[in-house]
Amino acid sequence: MSVELSFDDGLAFVTLNRPEALNALSFSVLGEIAEALDEVKASDARALVISGRGEKALCAGADIKELTGRGLVAQRQGAQLGQAVFQKIDGLLIPSVAVIKGYAFGGGLEMALACTFRVATSSAKMGLPEIRLGLIPGYGGTQRLPRIVGQSRALELIMSGKTIGATDAERIGLVNAVVDDGEAHELGAQFVRQFTGHGKIALMLAKQAVERAFDSPLEKGLLVEADLSTLAFQTEDAEEGMRAFIEKRKPAFKDR
Ligand code: CAA
């Protein structure tokens, strides 16, 4: 198997395991990622950590050796497959984090862009080099990168194909944090632990509400926020959270 799935202490871990090809995304790897994500969706995990085996790369992108010589129809289907798989990450109700150790290029960075958050070790290198291959990103990069870093910075990265390091990535908001080197699962787990102690329903509603900011005019988005915040208000967790504040104790959320 080129993709491993494990669960530990309330977290799901999807790990690319093809280090000999820098975890490149062959079509069979994409299929395995999709299967793993279906299991994550059906599980009671509170957050997902995506990482890659080996010290050299989270993922070096689409498998270039598989791409050469393909017809246009097959190529379009391939792009839509990659998009659909990464949409499964984006569509999860729980938060996800990609741990960028080493390289995250092309489809590998696009996979990370589909996560709620990204962390990078200080030596990480990332970019969308497709233009250097005569291509443009096809697994969501042209749509997600501008939503994360803004149009101008996204175009700079996509049109130059340049590689940037972790510090610059953090400066432009491409990664949430630069973390000390360490074991990838642990780095991801440490990052998501700042959320997972909160009530799961409130976390899900916060994610949904913020996502609507990008596909709705402000007035509609505000209506969605009014609805979702009222939904949060109706949960047992909200009652517990507010009571715990008044009683000066830590809340005990039950995800209800
Ligand atoms: N596809 C297939 N195989 C790849 C690969 C990829 N994207 N990236 C690396 N590999 C393979 C190499 O062919 C090599 O295999 P062999 O030992 O059998 O030759 C092995 O992984 C190790 O790679 P390198 O020897 O190249 O390692 P390096 O340390 O010298 O360089 C690198 C690392 C700079 C990341 C370099 O491998 C590289 O530039 N890779 C391609 C990055 C890239 O262009 N990604 C975009 C792909 S297109 C895409 O993703 C389109 C999209 O939108 C979905």
Q: How crowded is residue 105: how many other Cβ atoms within 10 Å of its Cβ?
A: 23
Q: Is 44 exposed, middle or buried (0-12, 13-18, 19+ CB in 10 A)?
A: exposed
In terms of domains, do 116 and 221 share one?
A: no
Q: Which residues touch 72 (CB under 8 Å, ≥6 apart)?
A: none
Ligand 1, atom nearest to 22 Cα = 21
CA of residue 23 to ligand 1 center, whole Å: 9
In terms of domains, do 181 and 224 share one?
A: no
Q: If DSSP codes are grouped into helix, strand and coil, which group holds residue 99?
A: strand
pTM of full prediction above 0.95: yes
In terms of domains, do 176 and 243 share one?
A: no
Tokens of 220: 């509609």
Q: What is the pLDDT of residue 168?
A: 98
Q: Which residues are catalytic?
A: 110, 130
CATH (domain of 221): 1.10.12
Indicate the top mutation candidate among 18, 22, 25 to test ligand 1's pocket, ranked by most ligand atoms within 8 A of CB: 22
Band (166; pLDDT cuts 50, 70, 90) = very high
The answer to whether position 177 is within a domain reads yes
In terms of domains, do 187 and 230 share one?
A: no
Instruction: Please report, for residues 37, 84, 153, 251, the alpha-carbon distance to residue 79 in angstroms, rounded to integers and kept in the order given.
Output: 18, 9, 23, 45
The answer to whether position 255 is within a domain reads no
Q: Average pLDDT in the 112-121 region?
A: 98
213 phi and psi, to 5 degrees? Answer: -60, -25
Indicate the top mutation candidate among 16, 53, 64 to test ligand 1's pocket, ranked by most ligand atoms within 8 A of CB: 64
CATH (domain of 90): 3.90.226.10
In terms of domains, do 102 and 180 share one?
A: yes
CA of residue 60 to ligand 1 center, whole Å: 5
Range of the domain at 112: 3-196
